[in-house]
Amino acid sequence: MADKQSFETNLQELEGVVKALEGGKISLDEMLTLFEKGISLTKECTDALNGAEQKISILMKNRDSGELEEQPFAGFGE
């Protein structure tokens, strides 16, 4: 869940950065800071997506405890 939070937060922050830059009424120093930040946020977001390995699992009852637990989903049983 922490990853997801940061992904969404990053994305929101990135949108803010672009908006601020497009507003244009900022000093060169601020611009450089924003630009640097924007580039690193973009990279983080893209990396998060590209690096994501989807986990597909199925909830199965543990024979001993009777509790549900996640197990890799093997297939569609066809």
Partner 1 sequence: MIERQALSVTQVNLYIKEIMNRDDVLTDVLVKGELSNFKAHSSGHLYMSLKDENGVMRAVMFRGSASKLRFTPQNGMKVVAHGRVTVYERDGQYQLYIDDMQQEGIGDLYIAFEELKAKLSAEGLFDPAHKKPLPKYPKCVGVVTAPTGAAIRDIINVLSRRFSYSDVVLYPVLVQGENAAQSIAQAIRYFNQTKGADVLIVGRGGGSIEDLWAFNEEIVAREIYQSEIPIVSAVGHEIDFTISDFVADLRAPTPSAAAELVVPSQTELIDKFHNVYRRLYSQAARILEQGRLRLKSLSERPSIQNPMLKLEEERIYLDRLVQDMTTAADKILEQKKQGLGVAASKLDGLSPLGALTRGFSVVKAEDGGVVNSVSRVKPGDNMTVMVQDGKILATVKETEKEVENHGR
Residues lying near partner 1 in the complex (CB under 8 A) are found at 1, 3-4, 7-8, 11, 14, 17-18, 21-22, 24, 26, 28, 31-32, 35, 38-39, 42, 45-46, 48-50, 52-59, 68, 70, 73, 76-78
Instruction: Answer whether 34's CB lies under 8 Å from 21's CB.
Output: yes
> Nearer Cβ to partner 1, position 51 or 64?
51
Instruction: Answer whether 9's CB lies under 8 Å from 33's CB.
Output: no
Q: Is 17 exposed, middle or buried (0-12, 13-18, 19+ CB in 10 A)?
A: buried
CB of 62 to partner 1, least distance (A): 14
